[in-house]
Structure 1
Amino acid sequence: MEKLTPNLFQNGHILLIDKPLHWTSFQAVNKIKWLLKTKLGLKKIKVGHAGTLDPLASGLLIICTGKATKQISELQGLFKEYTGTFYIGATTPSYDLETEIDCLFPTKHINETLLEEVRTSFVGTIEQKPPIFSAIKKDGKRLYEHARKGEEVEIASRAITIHEFELTRIALPEIDFRTACSKGTYIRSLAFDFGKALQSGAHLTALRRTKIGSYNIKNAISLEEFEQQLAEV
């Protein structure tokens, strides 16, 4: 491990952090910045992340400091890998657990043959609409602002690429998955669209980011571990 010095972070350093559940990516960045200021005496330091994770998702968050913040755009363009769980037979307005279930759907017709047909239909370049509960701007406001006011909004679809998509556990109503996908892919939308393609409904109940390009969650540390490393400097 490199020696953690003020110069290391000022000259440019990439941290692989395992973001905990219920934290925003912004909170994780602020925590890192606060630790660098209080533990290393850095009065002014640039800190940013290369790809937001929702509070209800855990996993790999790339945090860049100092001159390494110039690499953020490049890092954001890398493919991402996720694992997680779909709940089949019910939808929510946010496509995840942020909101309550709004509709129930039949699931008795779903079998492994249908699941395999639907799974393969999502591999490749596809059109996807972002969730209404997202931070994308429409008419000068975030989509989630429109959603919380109950406003109807037309959302344009966008081309995304699903490089890999496998179902790792089938125990209806739950299905575990692993996917590798392009920048701009919403896994919540993948859950919703997957349920719709099954002639049912689905929402995301768990999500963990495991890779960003060649960066792997196996090499990430927790915020607590990073704080401990700084305490030992």
Structure 2
Amino acid sequence: MDRPEKPYGAVFLVDKPYQWTSFDVVKKIRNALKVKKVGHAGTLDPLATGLLIICAGKETKNIEKYQAREKEYVGSFVLGKTTESFDLEREVKQIADPSHLKKEEILQAAQSLTGDIMQIPPHHSAIRKDGKRVYESARKGFEVKLDPRPVTVKTFEITGIDLPEIHFKIVCSKGTYIRSIARDMGELLGVGAYLSALKRTAIGEFRLENAWKLELLIDKIKSEQHENL
């Protein structure tokens, strides 16, 4: 983590803590670095954890390059219930008993959502529609019509079934919403579903196991700044 005075540029791999927004992480690192230009390469929802790439200084011009890389996630869906946000941000509602579902049906649904697909983003998301974040309208009770978008789900592997919960590994393109995959899987199976846990394990060649725990990274930055005084 060498830090030349001019021009400064750095890339940090961070394991985003649970319930932190991606911007919370950016702000924490920006304050520690005392550098104005700091940004992240791909949002993680507050209830998700895992790999977040932070770019600082001149490296912020490469954010789009990092964002474009393939993403890998592991997590779990709960079948038989759903929420307005398709995760645990909103109230859980009972839809149908999933206990009758067979392994083959679950695997077939996952296969149907693999490949080049058209996906409607969740209404509780940070994308913009008519200049506004759609989650702002959703939280006020307004429904915004969102058009399907092309995404690629390279891998959708069911790694465990313990009904009503199923566990997965997904490798997908930029712009893919795992919460939308939960929604669509629930609809295919006729029982509803929501995302109960999500961790991003890779962005391109960058792996979560090489990421910093946030507080350790902040301590490292402050220590190096002190040494350079």
Structures share fold, TM-score greater than 0.5: yes
1:230, CA displacement in angstroms? 2.6
1:180 equivalenced with 2:171 (yes/no)? yes
Which segment is superposed worse, 147-156 or 158-167?
A: 147-156
Amino acid at match of 1:219: N
Does residue 17 in structure 1 map to residue 28 in structure 2? no
Code of the aligned partner of 1:81: E
Taking the aligned partners of 1:223 and 1:188, their CA distance within structure 2 comes to 25
Match of 1:7 in 2: 5
For residues 112-151 of structure 1, what are the structure 2 equivalents within 5 Å? Answer: 112-151=103-142
1:187 Cα deviation after fit? 0.4
Give distance in 2, aligned partners of 1:88 and 1:166. Answer: 16
* Offset at residue 75 of structure 1 (A): 0.8
AA at the equivalent of 2:100: H
C-alpha offsets along residues 111-132 of structure 1, whole Å, 9 cap, x if unaligned? 1111111111111001110001
Is residue 168 of structure 1 aligned with residue 166 of structure 2?
Answer: no
Kindly, what percent of the aligned residue pairs are identical?
50
> C-alpha deviations, 1:112-158, integer Å up to 9, x for none?
11111111111100111000111122233221122122123221111
Query: Residue 26 and residue 228 in structure 1: after superposition, are their counterparts in 2 closer, same or farther (change >3 A)?
Result: same
TM-score, reference length from structure 2: 0.93
Contact kept, 8 Å, 2:14 with 2:52, in 1: the verdict is yes
Aligned residues: 224
Aligned counterparts of 1:32 and 1:145: Cα–Cα separation in 2: 26
Q: Does 1:101 align with 2:98?
A: no
Quote the Cα distance in structure 1 between the aligned partners of 2:163 and 2:193. 11
In 1: Cα distance, 2:183 partner to 2:131 partner? 26
1:77 is aligned to 68
Aligned equivalents of 2:136, 2:160: Cα separation in 1 = 35
Query: Match for residue 227 of structure 2?
Result: none
Shift of 1:91: 0.7
In 2, the alpha carbon distance for the partners of 1:58 and 1:202 equals 20
- List alignment gaps of at least 5 residues for structure 2: 225-229
Residue deviations 1:152-201, cap 9 Å, x none? 32211111000011011110011111100000000001111111111211
